[in-house]
Amino acid sequence: MTSKKIAKSGSVMIPKEMRVEAGLYPGTGVDITQDGDTITVKPHVPVCRFCGGVENVRSVMGMEICTDCAAKIHEAVVSK
């Protein structure tokens, strides 16, 4: 266990050894969740904004979408 103080800016420095072990490298997106008084930081897992799935998710124009939903949208647009 490591203790850190929260900076005036509100940031907290995660020790390098912990970041490396968790796969958190500079530029890595993270997901931050809270459960009561526990805050968890994990590497970001892309989630489709339409169905909530995590399989075959890509970022398109800043929006995360799975290939299944992208195909449904494509079909809806092309079939008009």
Per-residue pLDDT of the chain (80 residues; tens, 9 = 90+): 889 999 999 999 999 999 999 989 999 899 999 999 999 999 999 999 999 999 999 999 999 999 999 999 999 999 76
Its pTM stands at 0.65
Residues 52 and 76 both lie in one domain? yes
Q: In the prediction, which pLDDT does 54 show? A: 95
Q: What is the pLDDT of residue 63?
A: 94
Count of structural domains, the chain: 2
Residues 35, 49 share a domain: no
Beta bridge mates, 69? none
Same domain, 67 and 30: no
Q: What is the pLDDT of residue 80?
A: 65
DSSP-derived letter for residue 10 is S
Q: Same domain for 23 and 5?
A: yes
Which range of residues forms the domain containing residue 80? 45-80
- What is the predicted pLDDT for the residue at 1? 82
C-alpha span between 38 and 30 (Å, rounded): 16
Residue 40: partners with Cβ closer than 8 Å, 6 or more residues away: 32, 33, 34
Q: Are residues 51 and 27 in the same domain?
A: no
